[in-house]
């Protein structure tokens, strides 16, 4: 039998490796930015076209590369970061495996220009699908400029899996945020299709966060700081009242590298226990400094997951640090053992006995007697009454003449039989009731959660929250597609602050929001002005509704078209629908039942959950 195992060609091996390293344009952005940071750059510029599908360019002013290094950097497992396996446990750099540039060059057109500080000329290299097509000396500034064009040009199947430009751009901005927040001492600029997206000057950590997420973020942050032998914790957590429905603003950095850790996230949530609303998530930007030997960062291809040597101690330190900061800045109630001197008992009172309070009563006080003290007289004891009464002569005079009226009645016109009562004007009600069924209710609310009504075959039990979701969903969907929504004007415009990423996300559904009844005012940086809202929504629900909508958009990541419209209608319907525990009047119950069965799909919510159940007479009979 012939041999069946064979070595793969280099270009095939590189393309397979690219599958691990490069999932989407954001993966390329991450690798190139990290290389620029390792090159000791002080200014990094990111240029994107068509969400990275056409061009990703990173320009830095770092140390640059020699001619040999420039060519060698595109070989597999070629790196300057490690020399032996033991170095993997003492890493202070970003990229270290030497796969990034080789993998990127295997699936794109790459152009590299680089020059070291003391060299007169630099080097330019062009690579297409792992093959070097051009290498010459060139004039270029100090540092490195690398351009990645036509990503996945030779693997069309992978290119077909990419999402829309708006979605891919959001992923790029996420990676840009993670790198920029971890290195506030480096200037970062980002451009997309020729327009500036971010301009982040050199600053401290707090200012960098504010520059990324907007000016109003500053008042939401509570600083945390703790130094131990195991770990140094620093950064910021958001105040509980600013907690969001989404997990967008949650960042952990270990040795200036962004990581994801469900275990540490649980520690933060434990510190906020009892301070957050239901289904709300705190914001945090936490920087951890640990000994590189105590962590393993090579357990995941994207290096976003880390294995810690002593996770339990780290959990306890992080939780107590956040609890301490929330208490220190009067965000959360804590036991205060500092004694207030003004509350201390003087020493001379130590031997004194407590005196019971005395009560003095004016035993000669008579409320039915003329008050002779009003003219300046005294009752003779220390207690003086403030009681005053009107002088009405004698109370017996109230009944004078009553007997004579009874004995000799007056003419009939003064008798009560002629009294007429004014009746209130009868007006039509919103829900007209059948005169024949006055006092007879066809619906009944059970436990402020279910609406019970009858049908020919038995009875129907409707879940009021789910039923209202279906009613609103179909109404919103109809309004969005036909642009026939009714708006209610706000007396004062509502101004809500959002980050640039959230504003870009809302921009993708702005037209659909307008069709549901929203009217937007002037645009400001990081601020959304709303002048009118849909008639089905109250003003106090707007901020919660938009937060929920942003969370849904981020999690489900829809493309443009019907799926986006559908998601918008689902999100608003779920936020606005009547909750369990709300008491409904009889007319509202009947309106809910009638509206539900007028829907095109009354049996299910937009999330495919049942809205009602039926019990036939036969099923009820079987219970007896």
Residue 340 has pLDDT above 70, yes or no: no
Taking the model in full, what pTM does it have?
A: 0.67
Choice between 35 and 381, residue whose per-residue pLDDT is larger: 35
Give the per-residue pLDDT at 431.
46
CA 498 centroid distance within chain = 10
- Phi and psi torsions of 71, nearest 5°: -75, -40
Per-residue tokens: 37: 């940071």
Q: Quick check: 230 pLDDT over 80?
A: yes
Looking at the DSSP assignment, which residues form a beta bridge with residue 148?
Answer: 56, 110
Task: Convert 21-49 into a string of H (helix), E (strand) and C (coil).
Answer: HCCCHHHHHHHHHHHHHHCCCCEEEEEEE
First to last CA, the chain: 77
Secondary structure percentages of the chain, helix, strand, coil, to 5: 40, 20, 40
Percent of the chain with pLDDT over 70: 76
pLDDT digit string (tens) for 8-18? 777 677 666 66
Q: What is the pLDDT of residues 105-159, one digit of tens each?
A: 888 899 999 999 888 899 999 998 888 898 899 999 999 999 999 988 888 888 8
Q: Dig out the tokens for 578 from the structure.
A: 């009547």
Q: If phi over 0 gives left and psi between -120 and 50 gives alpha, with beta otherwise, what is residue 561?
A: left
Topology agreement, domain 10-200 and domain 446-614:
no
Confidence (pLDDT) at 110: 92
pLDDT digits (tens, 9 = 90+) for 44-92: 999 999 988 899 999 999 898 888 888 888 887 666 666 556 555 566 6
Identify the pLDDT of residue 414. Answer: 53
The mean predicted confidence, pLDDT, of the chain is: 78
Task: Specify the pLDDT at position 245.
Answer: 74
Number of H helices and E strands in the chain, helices first, is 17, 22
* Model confidence pLDDT, tens digit, residues 429-472: 444 444 444 444 577 788 888 888 887 778 888 888 888 888 88
pLDDT confidence of residue 490: 82
Alpha-carbon distances, residue 270 vs 54, 315, 336 (angstroms): 44, 10, 21
**Could you tell me the sign of the dihedral formed by the alpha carbons of 211, 213, 215, 219, in that order?**
negative
pLDDT of the residue at 606: 83
Encoding tokens for residue 127? 């690579």
Report long-range pairs for 66-75 (Cβ below 8 Å, ≥24 apart).
66/116, 66/119, 66/123, 67/123, 70/112, 70/114, 70/123, 70/125, 71/125, 71/132, 71/135, 73/101, 73/112, 74/101, 74/102, 74/105, 74/110, 74/125, 74/127, 74/130, 74/132, 75/102
Q: In this model, does residue 567 exceed pLDDT 60? A: yes
Beta carbons within 10 angstroms of residue 480's beta carbon: 25
Domain assignments of the chain as residue spans, ordered by start: 10-200, 205-328, 446-614
- Which pLDDT does position 390 carry in this prediction? 53
Pick 205-328's CATH classification: 3.40.50.740, 3.10.20.30, 3.30.230.10, 1.10.10.60.
3.30.230.10
Q: Is pLDDT above 60 for 391?
A: no
Q: Is the dihedral of CA 383, 388, 393, 397 positive or negative?
A: negative
> Do residues 211 and 176 make contact, with C-beta atoms less than 8 angstroms apart?
no
Structure tokens at 314: 């780290």
Angle (CA) 606-608-609 rounded to 5° is 105
What pLDDT is recorded for position 43?
93
- Report pLDDT digits (tens) over 272-307: 888 887 778 888 999 999 888 877 666 566 667 777
Assess contact for 554 and 246: CB atoms under 8 A.
yes
Does the 446-614 domain belong in CATH 3.30.1370.100? yes
Reported as a single tens digit per residue, the pLDDT across 463-476 is 888 888 888 888 88
Assign 189 a pLDDT band (cuts: 50, 70, 90): very high
Kindly give, in sequence order, each residue whose CB lies less than 8 Å from that of residue 20, ignoring residues fewer than 6 positions away: 99, 103, 301
In 3D space, the residue among 164, 103, 147 whose CA is nearest the CA of residue 129 turns out to be: 103
Spatial separation of the C-alpha atoms in residues 78 and 215, rounded to whole Å: 43
CA distances from 312 to 230, 235, 308 (A): 11, 20, 9
How many Å apart are CA 477 and CA 316, to the nearest integer?
Answer: 48
Q: Find which of 253-262, 376-385, 521-530 is predicted with most confidence, using mean pLDDT.
A: 253-262
The verdict on domain 10-200 having CATH code 3.40.50.2300 is no
Residue 598 has phi, psi (to 5 degrees) of -90, -5
How many of the other CB atoms lie within 10 Å of CB of 444? 13
**DSSP letters spanning 164-224:** -HHHHHHHHHHHHHHHHHH-TTSEEEEEETTEEEEEE-S--HHHHHHHHH-GGGGGGEEEE
Question: Can you spell out the DSSP letters for 540-569?
Answer: GGHHHHHHHHHHHHHHH-PPSSHHHHHHHH
């Amino acid at each position: 039998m012939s041999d069946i195992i064979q070595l793969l060609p280099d270009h095939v091996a590189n393309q397979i490796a690219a599958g691990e390293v490069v999932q989407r344009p954001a993966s390329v952005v991450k690798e190139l930015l990290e290389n620029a940071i390792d090159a000791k750059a002080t200014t990094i510029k990111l240029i994107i076209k068509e969400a990275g599908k056409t061009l990703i360019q990173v320009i830095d002013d770092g140390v640059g590369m020699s001619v040999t290094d420039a060519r060698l950097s595109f070989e597999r497992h070629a790196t300057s970061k490690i020399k032996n396996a033991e170095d993997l446990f003492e890493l202070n750099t970003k990229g270290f495996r030497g796969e990034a540039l080789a993998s990127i060059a295997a699936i794109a057109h790459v152009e590299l220009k680089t020059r070291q500080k003391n060299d007169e000329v630099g080097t330019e290299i062009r690579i297409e699908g792992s093959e070097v097509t051009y290498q010459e000396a060139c004039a270029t500034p100090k540092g490195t400029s690398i351009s990645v064009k036509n990503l996945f040009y030779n693997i069309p199947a992978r290119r077909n899996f990419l999402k829309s430009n708006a979605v891919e751009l959001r992923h790029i901005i996420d990676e840009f945020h993670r790198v920029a927040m971890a290195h506030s001492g480096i200037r970062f600029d980002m451009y997309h299709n020729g327009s500036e997206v971010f301009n982040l000057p050199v600053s401290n950590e707090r200012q960098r966060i504010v520059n990324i997420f907007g000016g109003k973020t500053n008042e939401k942050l509570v600083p945390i700081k703790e130094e131990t032998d195991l770990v140094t914790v620093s950064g910021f957590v958001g105040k509980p009242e600013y907690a969001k429905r989404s997990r967008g603003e949650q960042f952990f950095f270990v040795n200036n590298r962004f990581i994801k850790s469900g275990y540490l996230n649980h520690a933060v949530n434990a510190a906020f226990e009892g301070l957050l609303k239901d289904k709300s998530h705190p914001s945090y930007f936490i920087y951890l400094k640990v000994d590189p030997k105590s962590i393993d960062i090579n357990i995941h291809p994207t290096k976003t997951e880390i294995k810690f040597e002593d996770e339990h101690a780290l959990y306890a330190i992080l939780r107590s640090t956040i609890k301490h900061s929330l208490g220190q800045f009067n965000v959360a109630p804590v036991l205060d053992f500092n004694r207030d001197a003004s509350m201390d008992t003087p020493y001379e009172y130590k031997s004194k006995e407590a005196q019971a309070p005395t009560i003095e009563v004016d035993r000669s006080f008579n409320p039915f007697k003329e008050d002779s003290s009003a003219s300046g007289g005294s009752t003779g004891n220390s207690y003086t009454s403030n009681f005053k009464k009107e002088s009405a002569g004698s109370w017996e005079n109230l009944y004078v003449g009553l007997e004579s009226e009874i004995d000799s009645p007056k003419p009939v016109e003064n008798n009560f039989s002629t009294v007429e009562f004014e009746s209130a004007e009868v007006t039509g009600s919103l829900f007209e009731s059948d005169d024949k069924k006055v006092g007879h209710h066809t619906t009944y609310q059970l436990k402020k959660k279910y609406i019970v009504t009858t049908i020919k075959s038995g009875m129907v039990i409707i879940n009021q929250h789910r039923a209202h979701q279906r009613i609103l969903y179909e109404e919103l969907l109809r309004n969005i597609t036909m642009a026939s929504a009714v708006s209610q004007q706000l007396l004062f415009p509502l101004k809500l602050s959002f980050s640039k990423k959230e504003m870009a996300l809302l921009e993708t559904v702005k037209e659909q929001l307008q069709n549901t009844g929203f009217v937007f005012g002037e645009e400001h940086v990081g601020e959304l002005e709303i002048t009118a809202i849909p008639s089905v929504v109250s003003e106090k629900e707007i901020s919660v509704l938009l937060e929920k909508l942003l969370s849904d958009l981020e999690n489900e990541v829809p493309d443009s078209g019907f799926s986006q419209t559908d998601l918008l209608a689902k999100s608003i319907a779920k936020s606005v629908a009547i909750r369990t525990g709300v008491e409904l009047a009889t007319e509202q119950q009947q309106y809910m039942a009638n509206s539900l069965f007028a829907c095109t799909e009354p049996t299910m919510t937009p999330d495919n959950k049942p809205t009602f159940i039926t019990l036939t007479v036969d099923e009820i009979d079987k219970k007896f």
